[in-house]
Structure 1
Amino acid sequence: MPRLLDVSDDVRAEIGDEEADRLLAGGNVPGSYDCTSCRTAGDSEQERTSTVLFVGDETAVLAFAHAACLPSQVVRVAEDQLQGAVRSVADAPGTPDQVPGAAPSQAVLGVTSGLVLIAGELHPALVVEPTGPIARPGADSGDDFLPLLIEQGYMPVTSLEEAPRGLEGWSVLLAMGQLHAVLQPGTGGAPSQVAWWQAHQPLLVTEGWRAAANKTQKVLIFAAPAGSIGRQPREDLLRDALDKAAANGRLVAAALPLAGT
């Protein structure tokens, strides 16, 4: 039986016309499914359903989502992340991950989720801080973490009195109820986004964080050089650290649209 299925051009290009047409005709598509984004039940015979193709180095996994949660798209992720997503293994926020294009010894990030109060409204935020200096690719030393981000469109923050502006082409991927990646535009004419930061294993976020993200449909990204923020056990302490980093000219930020719920 035909399904109410959306198959994007990017997904069709990956899986081929024959398989795409088979899906649209109802083949290999369950009538009911668990949405890969909000993790609640969906019915492809009754409501619009998106095909979401997670592509790793050697593995591709086709998942289904409510069209209201995620558009049909290709999400390119590291092979270990994809395996973690398949197993739905959760880890605590703050897991170190690598920055593409930088040397491994210089490219370990800590990412922490939290709610930040700006102009009387709670905003879901991710705070990104390396464990050491991030040198520009090809350089032997130095810390170019903030200049590299500013070149990508992130803006310096001197105070947290207003939310940062949006950054076109970037997004935050929340799928299977967990945080998977921060995506940036593909390079070299690539049609889909690629991961700028990706969790080695999907990261849990609080219900409050998810509720705020669903309300605003965006996530604030704050980034600071190593040693600027630190591991803060409470959100009020995290906010104090962000205020201090901003006052010292050591903070950049952007507002990214939410992909998923």
Structure 2
Amino acid sequence: MLAVSDEVRSEIGDDEADRLLGGAHAPDSYECTSCRTPGDSLQEPTSTVLFVGEETAVLAFAHARCIPSQVVPVSEEQLVGAVRSISQAQADGPAPAAPVTAPAIPGQAAPSPAPSATQPTAPGQAAILGITCGLVLHGGTGHASIVVEPTGPVGRPGNTSGTDEFLDLLQDAGFQPVTDLDKTPDQLSGWSVLVAMGKLHAILQPAAAGGSTGWWQAHQPLQVTDAWRFAANQLTEVTMYAVPAGMVGRQPREDLLRQALERAVALGQVVGASLPLAGT
């Protein structure tokens, strides 16, 4: 019932992977690293998730229905803190999961000191991807939504002119222009939104070698409201909208967020897609 992906196997080695699959080092019971509820590797499909820092690695387990077996790069500080927590909690029951983040893709998104990602543009400049979460009504139904807005122009890799190509890049990836906020965008295959332990961790995109990899990651997991999380779980998807720099801004209320999005839609400056929910 245990799944060990090829990327996890390549990190831990064939011998250790075979021992895990043989049941030697896999716990019968565990706390899912995604949804934080108990799991049983003898009774239900289980994924191995390897959190890798600069010098430390921690193997965790998750329900296969929550997330697939994968390698998740995290900062060494996060991983050391997780190991400390695991050591403290081992006497009381299943070990808590390490924080979930996702790797960055050079030229598309990279870690930054804020809960955002950076995209180099002109020399000496970097655009930070701001993330705003809120419920957006689609025909009377509240959809968990994410609005992605950079702080400056985002260019293609190698572009040093400062020309903003953010929406073009996303349309190349399959996002579609939004013309009506009341209509739910089509689902984009291969992309997903990772929510773990009740917080937003990453937006994932298809990896060239198969599976998923990080497009955006939170430097620190972002807290979302119960209503947002409930809507995401109920519909098993999240709507992602993207706008150019300065188009929407950080709106303090959902009604103001919608008004700003509607203005951007009227100007033809919004692309979007529905992304499946990974985790809970």
Question: What is the TM-score normalised by the length of structure 2?
Answer: 0.80
The 5 A counterparts of 1:175-254 are 175-187=196-208, 190-254=209-273
**How has the CA–CA distance of structure 1 residues 154 and 85 changed in structure 2, closer, same or farther, with 3 Å as cutoff?**
farther
Query: Partner of 1:145 in structure 2?
Result: 166
**Residue 145 of structure 2: aligned partner:** 125
Distance 1:125 1:243, change over 3 A: same
What secondary structure, in the 3-state scheme, does the structure 2 residue paired with 1:184 have?
Answer: strand
Q: Which has the higher contact order (CA 8 A, sep 6+)?
A: 1
Unaligned 5+ segments in structure 1 are none
Higher alpha-carbon deviation: 39-48 or 236-245 = 39-48
1:65: how far off? 1.1
1:4-53: CA deviation from partner (whole Å, max 9, x where unpaired): 42223343333222111211233333333221111122233443322122
Q: After superposition, give the CA deviation of every residue in 1:49-95 in whole Å (9 maximum; x if it has no partner).
A: 221223455544322112232232334x45369649946499xxxx4
Cα deviation 1:119-161 (Å, max 9, x = unaligned): 2222111110011121332222121111111111111112212
Looking at structure 1, the residues matched to 142 and 127 of structure 2 have their Cα atoms a distance apart, in angstroms, of 30
Structure 1 residues 38 and 167 mapped into 2: Cα distance closer, same or farther (>3 Å)? same
Native 8 Å contact 1:84 1:202 kept in 2: no
Distance 2:205 2:53 in 1: 16
Structure 2: runs of 5 or more not aligned: 83-97, 102-113
Structure 1 range deviating more: 106-115 or 38-47: 38-47
Residue 121 of structure 2 contacts residue 162 of structure 2 at CA under 8 Å; is this kept in 1? no
Give the Cα–Cα distance (whole angstroms) in 1 for the partners of residues 78 and 203 of structure 2: 15
Alignment match, 1:155: 176
Distance 2:119 2:195 in 1: 20
Aligned amino acid, residue 134 of structure 2: G
The equivalent position to 1:79 in structure 2, one of 54, 75, 93, is 75
| 116-125 or 222-231, which deviates more | 116-125
The DSSP-based 3-state class of the residue aligned with 1:114 is strand
Aligned pair 1:29/2:26, yes or no?
yes
Could you tell me how far apart the structure 1 residues matched to 2:239 and 2:165 are?
21
| Root-mean-square deviation (Å) | 2.6
Q: Residue 58 and residue 99 in structure 1: after superposition, are their counterparts in 2 closer, same or farther (change >3 A)?
A: farther
Deviation at 1:99, TM superposition (A): 3.7
- Matching residue's letter, 1:14: E
Q: Hey, what does 2:106 align to over in structure 1?
A: none
> In structure 2, the residue corresponding to 1:107 is in which secondary structure?
strand
Q: Aligned pair in 2 of structure 1 residues 44, 185: CA closer, same or farther (>3 Å)? A: same
Identical counterparts, % of pairs: 59
Closer, same or farther in 2 for the Cα pair 1:57/1:169, shift >3 Å? farther
